[in-house]
A and B are shown apart, each in its own frame.
Chain A
Amino acid sequence: MDMRYTNMENKKLFKKSDLLIVAACLMIAGLLLLPKLFTSNENLTAVITADNSIYKEIPLNASDEQTIEVNNTKIIVKNGEIYFAESGCKDKICVKTGHLTEAGDASACVPNRVSVYIKGGDSEFDAVAY
């Protein structure tokens, strides 16, 4: 058997399959990047909990202003923000916390046991220490 001939054949074969593998890898990369493209801050969801149970989940980019009244607090969602507008509690820390806009932002009215948290999107931080 002519060894040189066999080697030539192998070279050719591997070139073709190499191309296939490259194409497959590109496909993998593309498919892996797809979810990233769709996970932008457009997809943020505000989660409102009352007495440590989920009370409501609202997309933060909803076009209409929404008012949620729960456990003696009034929460407003508008223009990509969520905030405690009013509360029947004494200290009003929840109202003073201000407007939440980013993934991972959280606020609570402890006396009324209501919390607001923004989930989804791509946050640069796994958590913020404060």
Chain B
Amino acid sequence: MRKKRLIISLCAAAAALLVFAAVLFDALSNKKNVEKTGIAMGSVVTVKLYGKSGEDCADEITDSIENEENSRISRYKDTSEVFLLNKNGKAELSSHTADIIKRAVKISEDSFGAFDPTVGRLSSLWNFDENVMTVPADEDIKSALEGTGSEKVKINGNTVTLGKNQEIDLGALGKGLACDIAAEILEKNNVKSAVVSVGGSVLTYGKNPSSDFWTIGIRTPEPDDTSAALKLKIHGTAFISTSGNYEKCFIKDNVLYHHILSPETGYPADSSLKSVTVVSDSGLVSDALSTACFVLGKENSSEVLKKYNAEAVFIDNENNVYITDGIFANVEAAKNGYALYEYGK
């Protein structure tokens, strides 16, 4: 009988050891094995890969984003298609770039011009990208506005013709587009789980190996505080973009001037909001809609959000937070001072 007991005990110990080995292996294989940063799209790109994916995949993401900027959408680099289009007013583009412009024009229409990819001259005038921090002359702003309006863009196949004095600026969708590119590369490389951030536009990819959801912070909407004010739980793959008046901004004569320009007035948009975060299944859409909703304001954003099946988090000037019903249960405050409400109720 003793011998039998010993055998059973040994078996139990062996089973426990096996379980231990399996759990340990699982824990190790779920570890972040690559965490890389670089610079692309004028901002910090962070790539975290889980599982067996290697550094090559992270490098491919950063390189592809950089290539997208340099050869396609930058309005500064003289090697890019958009640069040449702006310079010549007409260009036959690659189908990829033409498609981006088509989608941008469509979002512009759907957001009643609140997102406008034709504000190139206005953006150059304010020049927030180079931190110029001066308010342009009113007549210069009015002159720059004459060229805006996505309805003036003519697209025939891959040939794009701009209106008079019109310049394309895809800055308001570039980082989201970069997240789309990252997702394509992750899929191609059979990566199971990853988180990519391109200058604050975030892609959560696949299932978080150590939880049922990804935890994404929404930044405190103040210029001098980079910590998270809100906590957003995301299940699986999603694209999250935030537009806020705390980025690229300056104060002059007690007035805050920020980089989200109203295509209607030519001045920084004032819709009583500090930031808008949009969650959708496309990086380009999330990024463009975060700008559109910021310009439109809380009350006027529901139509375009519904049209693109997107969810949003609005933080207004009084730190009231309005969250659309699809993600209301997934948001909580990460610090004191923020009151949470369901959007539209």
Contacts and interface: CB of A to CB of B under 8 A. Distances in A.
Decide if A and B are genuine partners.
yes
Contacts of B208: 126
24 contacts: A16-B8, A17-B8, A17-B12, A24-B12, A24-B19, A24-B20, A25-B16, A27-B20, A47-B37, A49-B38, A52-B62, A90-B131, A105-B226, A110-B42, A113-B39, A117-B37, A124-B228, A125-B217, A127-B216, A129-B197, A129-B217, A129-B232, A129-B242, A130-B247
Interface string A105-128: 111101001110101000011111
Interface in A86-117: 90-93, 97-98, 102, 104-108, 110, 113-115, 117
Given A31-B24, A104-B46, A128-B227, 18 more contacts: A13-B8, A17-B8, A17-B9, A17-B11, A24-B13, A27-B16, A31-B20, A52-B62, A98-B226, A102-B227, A110-B43, A117-B44, A126-B204, A126-B208, A127-B204, A128-B219, A130-B219, A130-B242
Contacts of A110: 39, 42-43
Contacts of A114: 39
Contacts, number: 136
B48 A24 contact: no
A32 interface: yes
A20 interface: yes
A10 B252 CA distance: 84
Interface string A16-28: 1100110011011
Interface of B: 1, 4-5, 8-9, 11-13, 15-17, 19-20, 23-24, 27, 35, 37-40, 42-44, 46, 48, 59, 62-63, 66, 130-131, 195, 197, 200-202, 204, 208, 214-219, 224, 226-228, 231-232, 240-242, 244, 247, 277, 334
Interface of A: 9, 13, 16-17, 20-21, 24-25, 27-28, 31-32, 35, 47, 49, 52, 90-93, 97-98, 102, 104-108, 110, 113-115, 117, 119, 124-130
Contacts of A129: 197, 200-202, 216-219, 232, 240-242, 277
A127 B19 contact: no
B8 A125 contact: no
A78 B123 CA distance: 38
Contacts of A47: 37
B9 A126 contact: no
A28 B219 contact: no
Nearest to A108: B44
A115 B35 contact: no
A119 B35 contact: yes
Contacts of B200: 128-130
A-B CB proximity, top 10 nearest:
A24-B16, A130-B200, A91-B131, A128-B217, A130-B219, A117-B37, A52-B38, A17-B12, A125-B217, A106-B44
